[in-house]
Chain A
């Protein structure tokens, strides 16, 4: 014991440290938000309604199967057309993704929820199939631009460096980046089709003839058996997606949906003109320039809607982000080949597909019955829904890990073998989800949480497109800031966003 103290102090230089710090930062910020988050529980007799809901889920029934099939066909038609158009648009944008202007534009268009795009297009193109297709295609193009663009950026540059000097930009792109990203792009696009089917269903909430059209009615009227039938039909389509969606059949499907639901629109020139020249002009400016009036208008909107909306949106999205992370970490082992047995995995898949197919509205409603109106049901609904989506992706990613033959099992395997390996991917997925969470807070007006989306919805209900535009602009700016922040963070952490399967 005479040895002279410890000569070496080990340096803390682990790749894990940076990731742990980032996670801790987010948890800390979320904790700081807690005082502003109303998570109170107030409820009395939820059980009767929940029992009815549960009974409905056990006894799905639908009077008219043809109506159901028709709604499903429409749902697929909007989804396929919208996602296809969005993928093409996103691909073109991705070619210029190195430019900040393109990135901002992409962040802008995807910040706006599909429902609001639909409400905008309905103003311009009437209640037409084209409005629904564009409502999906535009925000999806923004997302595709981001994911494709980041894939292109993160491609191993050695192939490009080996090309002869003087190779044209397009030739180089088609021979190096594109082939290297193609498989990821296909996987991701297919995953987005699943999202597109959900989005398409949700567009039914405002009147497009998709599954959501009937689902919303059934939920509102408390016809839970009917709602269950619609919900299960949607789940079935999503679960079997991998079976029927084949690259070779895609042209056929696209042709079929174009025939089934031609994306026509009726643009009324006078209305379009009025929309841009009058409807979206701030009310105080419609009779000519009125600086003071505009200032008062802006000020009133800022203090009554924008400021509280921003605050609520951020607090809710942050808390939901942490919840989403927790749900993911807890549930992804349920579908991973590294854990459990085929039976438990099947159960895991079933749970995750239910959670990610269920509209947040439904989950929030159940939460509302259970805990009363507060941010709690909102956080739980968003966390469950988005956590199920990310758990699905992380679970699949974990299947690609090669563990050594004598690796430990159970909890030790989770902590020592799997978690460190998946954490980077998990973090990238989850951070990416943040902007989606902000957008989805719009759906939860039933909980009485005035987020930005809540006010945008109100503005549309009140036919005040000037306000809607201003609020949409604020939302888009918020999203662009978050996108820039995430980019910085990602670079600092070298998080490959692994966008092949976000």
Chain B
């Protein structure tokens, strides 16, 4: 009996989760969003399911969350109108908005107005924290995070090139892409890579929780600030859900105050944003050759 109930529940859960993608297409009226948080990707569906409930209540329409893991897949879903709203990293947002004309950045995390990258190094390198750019990292082995990450790739590469006037390949003995901020931390902590770069909130959280051994790995430089994560919404949502819908969504995001909800991102709150806030990111991406110049 209870087993049968559980199976029925499982079936429903599966239909909801696995086929959300499909069903959300079928009923165009389900407002769908996705989010790739900068840390702790576990239990995405549970954590962001609560956000969906919240948004649903605030905007008066059915809202669904679908989990997407990779940046390219997330942008593809956004482009394909499978999701209309997405929590993107700085660079990914710029790329997505380029691919979907009319889409807009409507809110960013309170922390994202002045985001930072930490450069971290293994203790054996002898590198110490300094306010100056750590030029001594030249010749070491080095790892970025994910290729499409703003704080783990784009901005640190910009600061590195800015200082050395050379490409990372020409500076370091080896350049890896760990794929993730936590991985970067683990790899530098174990000494597999000498130096790495990561999102400052991930590091600060790890230190707070004691999950990183600061005698083995430490921050050697904090980058200047730049804008990062933001909510991007498609331009055609008003047409589908009625005039003013975009504003309603924006307001709902700005009004999100429940720490439990905000913990999913994790941010302390959201503030308004607009496309032009990300012009520096776009400029940097073009300079680095990660994006082609828009003609």
**A contacts B directly in the complex (CB < 8 Å)?**
yes
CA–CA, A222 to B44, complex, Å? 16
B284 touches A (CB below 8 Å): no
Within 8 A of B (CB), among A245-269: 260-262, 264, 266, 268
A447 to B178, CA, bound (A): 8
> Is B190 engaged at the interface, CB distance under 8 Å to the other chain?
yes
Among A73, A127, A286, A458, the residue within 8 A (CB) of B73 is A127
Give the nearest-CB partner of A219 in chain B. Answer: B183
Cα distance, A70 to B13, chains bound together (Å) = 9
Tell me the smallest distance from the CB of A282 to a CB of chain B, in Å: 10
In A65-81, the 8 Å CB interface with B consists of 66, 69-70, 73-74
**B10 and A66 form a contact (CB under 8 A):** yes
How far does the Cβ of B87 sit from chain A's closest Cβ, in whole Å? 15
Contact A45 B25 (CB under 8 A): no
User: Beyond A268-B80, A369-B192, A372-B141, is A461–B40 a contact (Cβ under 8 Å)?
Assistant: no
B182: A residues at CB distance < 8 A: 220-222
Beyond A122-B72, A127-B82, A374-B174, is A48–B21 a contact (Cβ under 8 Å)?
Answer: no
Q: Chain A 142-180, CB within 8 Å of chain B: the 1/0 string?
A: 000000000000000000000000000000000000000
Alpha-carbon distance A48/B74, docked complex (angstroms): 34
Which of A95-103, A204-212, A329-337 sits within the interface?
A204-212
Q: How far is the CB of B290 from chain A (nearest CB, A)?
A: 5
User: Would B99 and A445 count as touching, CB distance under 8 A?
Assistant: no
- Residues of chain A within 8 A (CB-CB) of B213 are 48
- CB-CB under 8 A from A268, the residues of chain B are 80-81
- Taking a contact as CB atoms closer than 8 A, the residue among B42, B99, B148 that contacts A218 in the complex is B42
Which secondary structure dominates chain A's binding surface? helix
Stretch from B61-69, B110-118, B229-237, B259-267 contacting the other chain = B61-69
Q: Are B177 and A445 in contact (CB under 8 A)?
A: yes
Asked whether A221 lies within 8 Å of B42 as measured between CB atoms, the reply is: yes
Residues of A within 8 A of B40 (CB): 221
Q: Is the CB of B122 within 8 A of A44?
A: yes
Q: How far, in whole Å, are A260 and B70 apart by their CA atoms in the complex?
A: 24
Is B292 engaged at the interface, CB distance under 8 Å to the other chain?
yes
Name the interface residues of A433-469: CB closer than 8 Å to any CB of B.
445-448, 457-458, 460-464
- Say whether A339 faces chain B, with CB atoms less than 8 Å apart: no
B72 and A206 within 8 A (CB): yes
Report the count of interface residues on B (CB-CB < 8 A). 63
List B contacts of A123 (CB < 8 A).
Answer: 76, 79-80
Residue of B nearest to A454 (CB): B177
Q: Which of B21, B41, B192 is A126 in contact with, Cβ under 8 Å?
A: B21
* A323 interface residue (CB < 8 Å to B): no
Given known A-B contacts A372-B191, A446-B177, A447-B176, A458 and B186 have beta carbons under 8 A apart: no
Assess the A209–B143 pair: CB atoms within 8 A: no
A48 touches B190 (CB 8 A): yes
CB-based contact B192/A122 at 8 Å: no
**A445 near B81 (CB under 8 angstroms)?**
no
Confirm or deny: A141 has a beta carbon within 8 angstroms of a beta carbon on chain B.
no
User: Complex: how many Å from CA A66 to CA B5?
Assistant: 12
Whole-angstrom distance between the alpha carbons of A172 and B77 in the complex? 49
A220 interface neighbour in B71, B76, B180, B191, Cβ under 8 Å: B180
Is B295's CB under 8 angstroms from A287's CB?
A: yes
- Chain A residue nearest in CB terms to B123: A44
B124 sits at the interface (CB 8 A): yes
The answer to whether A122 touches B124 (Cβ under 8 A) is no
**Which of B10, B19, B70, B79: most chain A CB closer than 10 A?**
B70
Please judge, given known A-B contacts A70-B13, A221-B40, A221-B182, whether A122 and B191 are in contact too, CB under 8 Å. no
Task: Give the residues in chain A near B178, CB-CB below 8 Å.
Answer: 446
Interface size class of A (residues with CB under 8 A): 35 or more
- The answer, among A38, A119, A217, for a CB contact under 8 Å with B42, is A217
A74 CB contacts on chain B under 8 angstroms: 18
CB <8 Å contact, A45 and B80: no
B147 touches A461 (CB 8 A): yes
Number of interchain pairs (Cβ within 8 Å): 170
A42 within 8 Å of B (CB atoms) = yes
- Give CA–CA (A222, B120) in the complex, Å: 19
Q: Which residues of A lie under 8 Å from residue B41 when comparing CB positions? A: 217, 220-221
**Contact B190 A49, beta carbon cutoff 8 Å:** yes
How far is A70 from B11 in the complex, measured between Cα atoms in Å?
Answer: 8
Q: How many angstroms from the CA of A127 to the CA of B179 in the assembled complex?
A: 21
Q: Give the distance to chain A from B148, nearest Cβ to Cβ, in Å.
A: 4
Interface string of A214-240 (1 = CB under 8 A from B): 101110111100100000000000000
Whether, in the assembled complex, A43 has its beta carbon less than 8 Å from a beta carbon of chain B, the answer is yes
Chain B residues closer than 8 Å to A69, beta-carbon distance: 10
A347 at the interface (CB under 8 A from B): no
A213, B72: Cβ atoms under 8 Å? no
How far, in Å, is A225 (CB) from chain B's closest CB? Answer: 12
A368 to B67, CA, bound (A): 29
In the complex, the answer to whether A45 meets B189 with C-beta atoms within 8 Å is yes
B75 contacts chain A at the CB level, 8 A cutoff: yes
**B172-214, CB under 8 A of A: which get 1 and which 0?**
0011111110110011011111000000000000000000010
Given contacts A45-B190, A48-B190, contact A271 B80 (CB under 8 A): yes
Chain A 33-53: CB-based contact to B (< 8 A → 1; otherwise 0): 000001000111110110000
Establish whether residues B186 and A222, one from each chain, have CB atoms under 8 Å apart when the complex forms.
yes
Q: Known: A66-B6, A217-B42, A283-B292. Contact between A44 and B22, CB under 8 A? A: no
Contact of A126 with B76 in the complex, beta carbons under 8 Å: yes
User: Nearest chain-B residue to A444 (Cβ)?
Assistant: B176
Contacts of A425 in B (CB 8 A): none
What chain B residues lie within 8 Å of A207 (beta carbons)? 67-70, 73-74
Residues of A at the B interface (CB closer than 8 Å) are: 38, 42-46, 48-49, 66, 69-70, 73-74, 119, 122-123, 126-129, 204-207, 209, 213-214, 216-218, 220-223, 226, 260-262, 264, 266, 268, 271, 283, 286-287, 368-369, 372-374, 445-448, 457-458, 460-464
Sorted from nearest, which 3 A-B pairs have the closest CB atoms?
A44-B191, A448-B176, A207-B69
Residues of B within 8 A of A (CB): 6, 9-10, 13-14, 17-19, 21-22, 25, 40-42, 44, 66-77, 79-82, 95, 98-99, 122, 124, 141, 143, 146-148, 174-180, 182-183, 186-187, 189-193, 213, 216, 290-292, 295
Contacts A206-B69, A209-B17, A374-B174 aside, 9 further interface pairs with beta carbons under 8 A come to A123-B76, A222-B182, A226-B42, A261-B18, A264-B22, A268-B81, A372-B191, A372-B193, A448-B177
Some 23 contacts from A to B, beta carbons below 8 A apart, are A43-B190, A45-B190, A48-B213, A66-B6, A70-B17, A123-B80, A128-B25, A206-B70, A207-B68, A209-B67, A213-B67, A217-B44, A217-B69, A221-B40, A221-B182, A222-B182, A261-B18, A271-B80, A369-B192, A373-B176, A448-B141, A462-B95, A464-B292
